[in-house]
Amino acid sequence: MASPRVLSGIQPTADSFHLGNYLGAVRQYVTMQEGYDAFYCVVDLHAITVDYQPEALRRRSRVAAAQLFAVGLDPDRSTVFIQSHVREHTELAWVLICLTGMGEAGRMTQFKDKSAKYGESSAGVGLFTYPILQAADILLYQADKVPVGADQKQHLELTRDLAQRFNHRFGETFTLPEPHIVKGVEKITDLQDPTAKMSKSSSSPGGILDLLEDPGPLRKKIMRAVTDTGTEIVFDEENKPGIANLLRILSALTGTPIPELETRYAGQGYGTFKKDVAEAVVETFTPIRERTEKLLADETQLDRMLAAGAARARKVAAETMEKVRDRAGFLTAS
Ligand code: TRP
């Protein structure tokens, strides 16, 4: 039997992935290339739903792809590609848009949050249809599992609803995907505001740890992370969100359960603890940064890897799209 399929997408909207992306999603991509037929795409079409600069987008798409290879995605095992290289994404998105209700799309909380930031009337229609394009990404590949952060649950629900609606109206076509959300790292928070999610769009530079950052600034940010008065290193989300966040990070990076860390640091100050967190982060990030730089130094080779990924992705996408076109009632172009 064929392996179950996994698909995920990541936006090229920053010059580096951050620790939240890494622990919440990207690290999982690597684990899941074992045992799954894995498809991972850099979703450049999603990145244009907000203000952007073409040159920055081009650079960030390559940087994102290079980081995916650098964390350990093996191009022989995983299909890594750029979303816009596979035209079927936009084609399927249109068909799904026509199956989506205005009210249904308007209930998406990520849209509400993002459009509120832009001001209701200046948010683009692309932002409104963003989750439907995401549904197309997933359904094109008949994905069984979708590794994402917890904030994407609602988009996965919409994806399942649209798949079911299409299947019901036009005949069984799409696999219903399940989100795959990693426990324990759902909430990597901002180092300066430990109750808010670490996020490229809202974190201040001091609150975010970038995968491609040098060791010096990484250490400095962790040493300056907001903690609480008191001296104990205990996991108390409510009263000590800063320490809880650092415990989550250290636990995720070293594989040590949090209770064990609490015992280890009992009676020790915040300073020693933070130094260890900083070391764990630097140790994880440094080899990834070095591999990313190497990949980016040879653009021709990187672009070749992405072309190979796109060719593999296109084959699967075209097959699904052929069924969709037929079932939805389009004439075959002869
Ligand atoms: N919306 C996702 C995020 O912000 C990115 C994304 C786009 C995605 N297409 C996808 C994730 C398909 C999973 C599957 O994280």
Residue 29: predicted pLDDT:
96
Q: Quote the mean pLDDT of the chain.
A: 95
| pLDDT over threshold 90, residue 116 | no
Specify whether the CB–CB gap between 139 and 170 falls below 8 A. Answer: no
Residue 216 has pLDDT above 90, yes or no: yes
Residue nearest atom 15 in ligand 1 by C-alpha distance? 10
Range scoring the smallest mean pLDDT among 73-77, 137-141, 329-333: 329-333
Q: Binding site membership for ATP: which residues?
A: 11-13, 20-21, 149-151, 188, 197-201
Annotated binding site: 11-13, 20-21, 137, 149-151, 188, 197-201
Token code pair at residue 181: 């959300």
Structure tokens at 190: 């901002």
Residue 229's pLDDT band, with cuts at 50, 70 and 90, is confident
Tokens at 166, concatenated: 């299409």
CB 157 within 8 A of CB 178: no
3-state secondary structure of 205: helix
Residue 188 CA, distance from chain mean position: 13
User: What CA–CA distance (Å, rounded) separates 215 from 212?
Assistant: 9
Indicate whether 183 pLDDT > 90. Answer: no
Tokens of 133: 């394009």
> What's the 129 CA to ligand 1 centre distance in angstroms?
13
Does the pLDDT value for residue 58 go beyond 90?
Answer: yes
**Residue 228 to residues 219, 240, 271, Cα–Cα distance (Å):** 19, 6, 13
pLDDT at site 120: 66
Ligand 1 nearest-atom number relative to CA 83: 9
DSSP-H helix ranges across 141-240? 153-170, 215-223
Ligand 1 centroid – CA 27 distance (Å):
15
Structural tokens at position 158: 């919409």
Distance 273 CA to ligand 1 centre (A): 34
Q: How far is the CA of 332 from the centre of ligand 1 (A)?
A: 31
Q: Is the pLDDT of residue 144 over 90?
A: yes
The dihedrals phi and psi of 315, each to the nearest 5 degrees, come to: -60, -45
What does residue 82 show for φ and ψ, rounded to 5 degrees? -95, 125
Region 168-194: mean pLDDT is: 91
- Please indicate whether residue 200 is annotated as part of the active site: yes
Residue numbers belonging to the annotated binding site for L-tryptophan:
137
Q: Is 46 in the pocket of ligand 1 (CB under 6 A)?
A: yes
Closest C-alpha to ligand 1, atom 6: 9
The one-letter code for the residue type at 93 is A
* Distance separating alpha carbons of residues 160 and 146, to the nearest angstrom: 12
Cβ–ligand 1 distance for 134 under 6 Å, the answer yes
Among candidate residues 187, 197, 240, 274, the one labeled active-site is 197
Residue with tokens 């040590």: 256
The residue assigned the tokens 């950052």 is 213
Which atom number of ligand 1 is nearest to the Cα of residue 25?
A: 15
Take residue 95 and report the two structure tokens written for it: 């068909």
5-10 β-sheet, strand order: 79-82, 37-42, 5-10, 145-147, 178-180
pLDDT digits (tens, 9 = 90+) for 234-245: 999 999 999 999
Question: Lowest-confidence range among 114-128, 163-177, 298-312?
Answer: 114-128
- 17-21, 39-43, 226-230: which range is least confident on average? 226-230
Please report which confidence band the pLDDT of residue 252 belongs to, taking 50, 70 and 90 as the band edges.
very high
197 belongs to the catalytic site: yes
Alpha helices in the chain (DSSP H): 19-21, 27-32, 44-47, 54-70, 88-97, 102-106, 109-118, 125-140, 153-170, 215-223, 241-254, 258-264, 270-297, 299-328
Annotated catalytic residue 323: no
Does 43 sit in the ligand 1 pocket, CB within 6 Å? yes
Ligand 1 lined by 49 (C-beta under 6 Å): no
CA of 172 to the centre of ligand 1 (A): 24
CB 61 within 8 A of CB 68: no
Amino acid at 274: K
What the block records as the tokens of 94 is 């249109």
CB of 313 closer than 6 angstroms to any ligand 1 atom: no
